[in-house]
Amino acid sequence: MLVGPEPLTIIALPMTAHTVTTGITTTNRPFSGTFLAPRYWPLWLGLGLMKIMAVLPFRWQLALGRTGGRWLGRIARRRRRIAATNLELCFPELTAARRAELLEEHFAALGMALFETAMAWWAADEKLRGLARVEGVDHLERAMARGKGVILLTGHFTTLELGARFITWHQSFHALYRPHKNPLYETVMQRERERRSRLPPLAREDLRGVLRAFKRGRAVWYAPDQNHGPRNSVFVPFFGIPTCTITATARLAALSGAAVVPYFPRRLPGTEGYEVIVLPALENFPSGDVTVDTRRVNELLENAIRRAPEQYLWVHRRFKTRPPGSPSVYNF
């Protein structure tokens, strides 16, 4: 991210044709006329289908999502190899047969993620409240009462968007995110996230806006578990593997005094719906040792992943950046 061992660097939020940024308030202009160009038609069709997905009965969503995800696993061969490699690295104690089952379950979860994103953006609260339970909200309320802001810490689970929607029932927040390459998808994502969370998303480069949010006592959603290269990162264990991990969680907490409140979503078996577990704010965090703190974050994520391993984003090349002298693990 932006905070590293060198003096603090502030990078201004990049302006786009469809976003106006003033402080930490983002106002979306009407959709640009360029989004009517033929190159956007497939995405418009996909977004329309997602809106239909959002209103289907939950049983249909489960069945269609899992079927579509397994089909995706057959054609997305490179992503399948990445996920298989990650599972082999992280679960060496499992048999090859069990890892193969877990791989199939993961692609089924990826298929469901499309429906879950559609529900997060467009499903009515009445439908979702019957599917979800959120435990530990009192931990978040106590952290917010301190008035110094909260880092809502989570990971890249397939239920990411829907889990965030459930949190908005109890607490509004800014989502820290990486801008999408497709400007139409970026615009829709920003509009729907802001409509539900009641606060605008913040680009991860906008450190000034993030710190201003904390100063105003607000919550900021953050998932630090993707590989962004060695800058401002350290190698700490993740499933026993030295993993290049961004240090921003501890550094943001140190700069702002914000509490770090972890939460983790999970789809329950069958048609039981979803749960979100909010944990107490981390004590003695930051500790002053950024490596120790970053390792602690990885341990929290690992514990949450083990509860529903098929629902973690294994198709991401989490181990792309290797320690000096170590061979690549993605040799394809």
CB 260 within 8 A of CB 287: no
Look at residue 153 and tell me if it is in a domain: yes
Q: What DSSP state is assigned to residue 328?
A: P
Alpha carbons 295 and 286: distance in angstroms, whole number = 12
How open is the CA angle 59-63-69, to the nearest 5 degrees? 140
Look at residue 192 and tell me if it is in a domain: yes
Look at residue 214 and tell me if it is in a domain: yes
Look at residue 324 and tell me if it is in a domain: no
Look up the domain containing 240 and give its range: 131-311
CB 259 within 8 A of CB 148: yes
Q: What DSSP state is assigned to residue 282?
A: P
Look at residue 170 and tell me if it is in a domain: yes
How would DSSP label each residue in 98-130?
Answer: HHHHHHHHHHHHHHHHHHHHHHHHHS-HHHHHT
Look at residue 85 and tell me if it is in a domain: no
For residue 30, the model assigns a pLDDT of 57
pLDDT beneath 50, residues of the chain: 1-29
Look at residue 95 and tell me if it is in a domain: no
> What's the total number of domains in the chain?
1
pLDDT tens-place string over residues 249-298: 999 999 999 999 999 999 999 999 999 999 999 999 999 999 999 999 99
pLDDT tens-place string over residues 68-87: 999 999 999 999 999 999 99
For residue 221, the model assigns a pLDDT of 97
Return phi, psi of residue 166, to 5°: -65, -35
pLDDT tens-place string over residues 218-244: 999 999 999 999 999 999 999 999 999
Q: Is the dihedral of CA 89, 114, 220, 26 positive or negative?
A: positive
Helix (H, G, I), strand (E, B) or coil at 252: helix
The CB-side HSE value for 20 (13 A sphere, CA atoms) comes to: 5
The residues that bridge with 132 in the sheet, in sequence order, are 274
Look at residue 218 and tell me if it is in a domain: yes
For residue 55, the model assigns a pLDDT of 95
